[in-house]
Amino acid sequence: MVSRWLVSGTLGAVAALVVVAPAQAATLQYWWFDAQSNQLIFTTDGSVQPTAQMLANPTRVVVDLPNTQLGGSTRRQSVGGNVREVRAGQFDAQTTRLVIEFAPGYSLDPQAVRVQGVRPNQWVVQLPGSTTNAPGNAAPPTGEATPATITPSGNQVQGNTGTGAAATLNRVTTTGDGFLLHMSGTAPRPTIRFSGNGPDDQVAVLDLPNTAVATTLRPSDLPNFRYSIRTWEVVQQETNPPSTRITLRLAPGSPQWRALSNSSGVVLLPPSGVPISSVPDEPPPPTPVPPVSEVRPTVPVLPPGRPATPPIRPTTPPSQVTVPPTQPTAPPAMPSIPSQRVVVVIDPGHGGRDPGAVGIGGLQEKQVIFPISLRVAELLEQQGVVVVMTRREDITLDLQSRVDIANRARGNIFVSIHANAISMSRPDVNGVETYFASESGRRLAAAIQSNMLAATGMRDRGVKQARFFVIRHTNMPAALVEVGFVTGAQDAPRLADPAWRETAAQAIARGILQYIQQGL
């Protein structure tokens, strides 16, 4: 489908902006007003085309997100100075509304306000000048350093030459357990420290010795607004050899991140025992948006990467935007595969109302295998494999639906990922085992099992034949791996550890790639 962005009418226009909402409702995932850069930043989980307008009594900028749900409790952020507060709420059943309300007596030229698209699901409302001082009470400059470049995402990348070091930071992605800093070369030994002056002013400083930053890394590529990280500042320092410092501005509720090296680069993980699901994507909550009906001049809404242009009238409705993926950097430890189209179906077991097995300390099977499955998919995609997942969310899915998804996708391989369990009175039972149903899946199961054993050192419970529904009814070589026992005294702490899950994901992906490499 050909996709287009619309530029809205000018500020002087009174008519409402004409937009066509996406067919599937989006959810507002995160918003935050950054007083330092005078920006309201927000992200959704799908493409949106916001509309914006200026309203009076009190003076405020209203941004409506059509066909979008709030995604949680309503909330308010007090700012101070010329901006009294920013709030979000569900304006009606189809519209989420963001409101920037100004202090009494403050006047604003609507034409100086810009709503800029960074990505189809990431937007910035840029206010003019300084809004941090109340009217008539201008304060002298504080002397604080101003960032060299302010981007719509709030992120910064500086000094990136991409050369002269043992490792190069190529990109950063969000995983099911935290963040992965993809690197080529020899990954460094990272160090991380924390500082701040209160819950709303916390930073984490990550130092990467002997590491350069790729020239292709852009501020908009950095995944802020996830897992309580507001912004990323990546600076290649003028040391010999080059080193890289990453400063993360943290929202309240952010954990004390750990930084570990692996074969793909450096991973950022929450503390051991802290599930990533407990790390919020957004700042603390508060109250609803009051209804607003008075219409005033509209505010220009600009698409990503485009300057302001004269208003245009669409001849056809805008369609949903598709952003092409960035070129991934292949992890060095993964086997290469033939240059042919290969479709792998990854099936994270259980989900939604079905937690699967529940083990020591209440550890749920679905909490273990879902991040592993997402990471396996990412690793395979980095190698050029087409990945179809039976679910990418914590939803309930019956066995027949999983089989139908795989067969409709005409996958070359099907891998279902699970965790094992036995009676809580048998913590001595531990280990990994992999199943196949027909002979076509035996070699695939063996490749996954051998790589899991090599990577984790777990007890070998063998490669076994079984008549599990999902591997018996899929029309392709299929395997089901049980990555360990949630009831096992040895296995349960491993399964709860994000660093171990990263190791397991790499092992499963490596086994799949070896199977492909040896011939489907």
C-beta separation of 385 from 344 below 8 A: yes
User: What distance, in Å, lies between the first and last C-alpha atoms of the chain?
Assistant: 32
Q: Which residue is catalytic, options 365, 433, 482, 502?
A: 482
C-beta separation of 127 from 59 below 8 A: no
Helix (H) or strand (E) holding 513: helix 498-517
* Residue 364 DSSP symbol: B
C-beta separation of 371 from 276 below 8 A: yes
CA distance 90 to 70: 6
Q: Is 482 a catalytic residue?
A: yes
C-beta separation of 177 from 258 below 8 A: no
Contact residues for 268 (Cβ-Cβ < 8 A; gap 6+): 178, 179, 180, 181, 206, 257, 258, 259
C-beta separation of 400 from 393 below 8 A: no
C-beta separation of 306 from 374 below 8 A: no
CA distance 115 to 100: 13
Residues β-bridged to residue 358: 364
CA distance 225 to 254: 11
C-beta separation of 485 from 432 below 8 A: no
Two structure tokens written together for 125: 């409302």
Two structure tokens written together for 11: 């500020």
Separation in Å, CA 376 to CA 110, 222, 423, 457, 508: 48, 21, 29, 19, 7
State residue 402 phi and psi, 5-degree precision: -65, -45
Task: Tell me how long the chain is.
Answer: 520
The crossing angle, in degrees rounded to 10, of helices 365-382 and 498-517 is: 50
CA distance 457 to 497: 15
Catalytic residue numbers, as ranges: 482
